[in-house]
């Protein structure tokens, strides 16, 4: 069995105006230590999928199995404990603006009950990993976008995750900064063997760091495989539209949050 198994996942949002099927029969598997990409245009269901993987959104149907355990069967207490091993980084960083860089990285260790002195020592180690130890006393407002994302990555490392969910983590960054963040993520993957799921509409992100990729359209996976194979010879119209349009014209969308 693979490290992560997504089986026949479905998610329907109900409202007065009618039901919206955000995910439809989504299935894929991810091996331990792999970087797996999910690409799709705005409204494809990418953000819903990433929230369903750690059950921030509870799927309407299907199963999320991590390391042999069915996430859907866990009690609230067990689920909270399991989520500690699943880190997330976001497009807009989600840093605590009133805390220094060092204190932001200390935060998950403080929650876990680690003493202040030990937490600060470990936080400095993680800041060195992301090449920001010189910014330990700075505040998020004083940092560039790329530096903020590096702090967010250091904070995730402090929780010692087995899995890292990257939800449009480079969408707010310029191409050069994106490149440096991707190199950092690849380094972390290789050093810590953290399994990564990269949710994005940016083709260059998938091309540069993902081992395999799935193409999501209207809540369904329409194509998946080794990244190079999918990019070199896309089989479905959805994949061709994504890859050729984005690759050759650089067209991007901002994402709708679905």
Condensed to tens digits (0 to 9), the pLDDT of residues 149-184 reads 999 999 999 999 999 999 999 988 998 999 999 999
pLDDT at position 253 over 60: no
pLDDT range class, residue 232, cuts 50, 70, 90:
very high
On whether the CB atoms of residues 186 and 202 are closer than 8 A, the answer is no
pLDDT, residue 245, reads 74
Integer Cα distance of 41 and 117 in angstroms? 45
Q: Is the pTM of this model over 0.95?
A: no
pLDDT, residue 124, reads 96
On whether the CB atoms of residues 196 and 119 are closer than 8 A, the answer is no
pLDDT at position 247 over 60: no
Q: What is the 3-state secondary structure (H, E, C) of 114-134?
A: CCHHHHHHHHHHHHHHCCCHH
State the average pLDDT over residues 100-126.
Answer: 94
Could you tell me the domains of the chain?
4-85+161-249 (3.40.50.300), 95-160 (no CATH)
**Each residue's pLDDT tens digit, 12-63:** 999 888 899 999 999 999 999 999 999 998 889 999 999 999 999 999 999 9
pLDDT at position 252 over 60: no
> Between these two residues, 74 and 251, which has the higher pLDDT value?
74
pLDDT, residue 43, reads 85
Share of the chain above pLDDT 90, in %: 79
**Each residue's pLDDT tens digit, 193-214:** 999 999 998 888 999 999 999 9
Q: Residue 4: is it exposed, middle or buried by C-beta count within 10 angstroms (0-12/13-18/19+)?
A: buried
How many of the other CB atoms lie within 10 Å of CB of 248?
Answer: 9
């Amino acid at each position: 069995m693979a490290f992560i198994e997504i089986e026949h996942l479905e998610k329907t949002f109900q409202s007065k105006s009618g039901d919206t099927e955000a995910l439809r029969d989504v299935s894929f598997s991810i091996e331990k230590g792999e970087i797996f990409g999910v690409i799709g245009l705005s409204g494809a269901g990418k953000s819903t999928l990433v929230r369903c993987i750690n059950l921030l959104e509870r799927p309407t149907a299907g199963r999320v199995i991590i390391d042999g355990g069915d996430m859907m069967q866990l009690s609230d207490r067990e689920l909270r404990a399991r989520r500690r091993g699943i880190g997330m980084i976001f497009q807009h960083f989600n840093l605590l603006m009133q805390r220094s860089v060092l204190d932001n990285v200390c935060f998950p260790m403080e929650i876990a009950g680690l003493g202040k002195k030990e937490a600060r020592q470990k936080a400095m180690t993680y800041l060195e990993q992301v090449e920001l130890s010189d910014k330990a006393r700075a505040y998020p407002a004083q940092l560039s976008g790329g530096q903020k994302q590096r702090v967010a990555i250091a904070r995730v490392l402090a929780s010692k995750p087995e899995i890292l969910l990257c939800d449009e983590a480079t969408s707010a960054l310029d191409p050069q900064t994106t490149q440096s963040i991707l190199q950092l993520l690849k380094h972390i993957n290789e050093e810590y063997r953290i399994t990564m799921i990269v949710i994005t509409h940016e083709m260059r992100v998938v091309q540069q760091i993902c081992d395999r990729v799935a193409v999501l359209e209207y809540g369904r996976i329409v194509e998946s495989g080794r990244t190079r194979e999918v990019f070199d010879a896309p089989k479905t119209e959805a994949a061709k539209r994504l890859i050729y349009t984005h690759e050759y014209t650089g067209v991007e969308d901002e994402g709708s949050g679905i």
